[in-house]
Amino acid sequence: MANHKSAEKRNRQNKIRNARNTHIRSTMRTYVKKVRTAVSDGDKQTAQTLLEKAVPYIDKAASKGVIHKATASRKISRLSKLVDAMVAQA
């Protein structure tokens, strides 16, 4: 339990930031999961449109500091590679 006024404020700030970070990370994971599901289902058009929605959100998570910029780059690269391989097969 916080004993100082500044520590109490820090706890309040941490709760708010944790809620925001959790929301951003969860939403990002949902977008990634939707792209992967579309790829596994073999739906090329849906996978491409979902990828276009997922990429900016992954970048947003990195810009807000929720994930590292290298992690964001890696996720985008791997998703793009998956979708591109699917499109190339057609």
For domain 5-89, the CATH superfamily is Ribosomal protein S20 (1.20.58.110)
Binning pLDDT at 50, 70 and 90, where does residue 90 land?
A: low
CA distance 65 to 38: 28
Domain ranges of the chain: 5-89
How do residues 38-88 score in pLDDT, each as one tens digit?
999 999 999 999 999 999 999 999 999 999 999 999 999 999 999 999 878
Whole-structure pTM value: 0.86
Read off the pLDDT of residues 13-35 as tens digits, 9 standing for 90 and up: 999 999 999 999 999 999 999 99
Torsion angle defined by CA atoms of residues 51, 56, 60 and 61, in that order, rounded to the nearest 10 degrees: 10
